[in-house]
A and B are shown apart, each in its own frame.
Chain A
Amino acid sequence: MITHRPSTASRLARRAVQVAATALALLAGSLAVSPAFADTPAAWPEQPHVSGWNYLVLLLLIPLAVFVLVWLAVTVPDYRRNHRGAGEEPWGERREWFGGPSRSVDAADEVSPEELETSEGRTGGASGRW
């Protein structure tokens, strides 16, 4: 079966006709449609006048204030928890031992040098400063 490929000129002409027909149809459709005009019923009460300032307060300032309040409520306690004490008075002589012996630091004073020497080289760990 032999098929003939259309020439470039005829393809362009066909495409131009398609585009023109589509544009014409859209234009005709848009002209045929008319906007709907509706008004509020006459029995309805007159709407109160709302000024631009009222719009601004209602749509912008109040939401903004609510946003700021929520942001502060979330941020401030976290900030205070994380920065509590920074720059305040030093820790001092207070000692807190979590999970330590009941005798607390006195127990450390009773550790003999022999015990320390025995553990020397067998314990591990690391040190640091900040």
Chain B
Amino acid sequence: MAPVAGGEGFSAEDRHDIDRAIRDAETVSRYEFSVFVGPADGEPHAFARRLHAALAAPPRSVLVMVDPDARSLEIVTGSEVRRDLADESVRLAVATMQSTFEAGDLAGGIKRGVALLADAARQPATLHTDEP
């Protein structure tokens, strides 16, 4: 199949939309989100884990790595994030992103996936915790 994205990469509008999706996700979930798009150095999963470990707060971070040419997608969740964001929910987000990428919409798939991950990681509101 043909690669998803063209030579110019993301448009300014795409970048703005992805940035906004990340900000919204962080607001919703209270976790850090990061999206890497580009070729992986070596094995994709190991590279994604290295990227995740390089983030400011890995335990509280979600890393999405997309290699458009290799057509590979990796999502790494930190140890704290994992308590709220189960791997099953991540797999659902991966499936959604795959189908959007297949339709040729790279930026749309990233936005949709980040939003799904944030929704799944959303911590339920705890009422009356401040009361004695």
Closest A residue to B50 by beta carbon equals A108
Residues of B within 8 A of A110 (CB): 54
A129 to B98, CA, bound (A): 7
Check if B122 is an interface residue, CB within 8 A of chain A.
no
> Across the interface, do A111 and B50 meet the contact criterion of CB distance under 8 Å?
yes
Query: Which of these, B35, B90, B93, contacts A124 with CB under 8 Å?
Result: B90
Interface SS of chain B: mixed
Residues of B within 8 A of A130 (CB): 71, 73, 98-99, 101-102
A105 to B73, CA, bound (A): 17
Closest A residue to B46 by beta carbon equals A116
- With A86-B2, A125-B87, A128-B98 known, 19 other A-B pairs at CB within 8 A are A82-B103, A82-B104, A88-B2, A88-B5, A90-B3, A90-B69, A92-B39, A93-B38, A93-B39, A96-B9, A101-B55, A101-B56, A108-B51, A108-B54, A111-B53, A119-B52, A126-B90, A126-B93, A130-B73
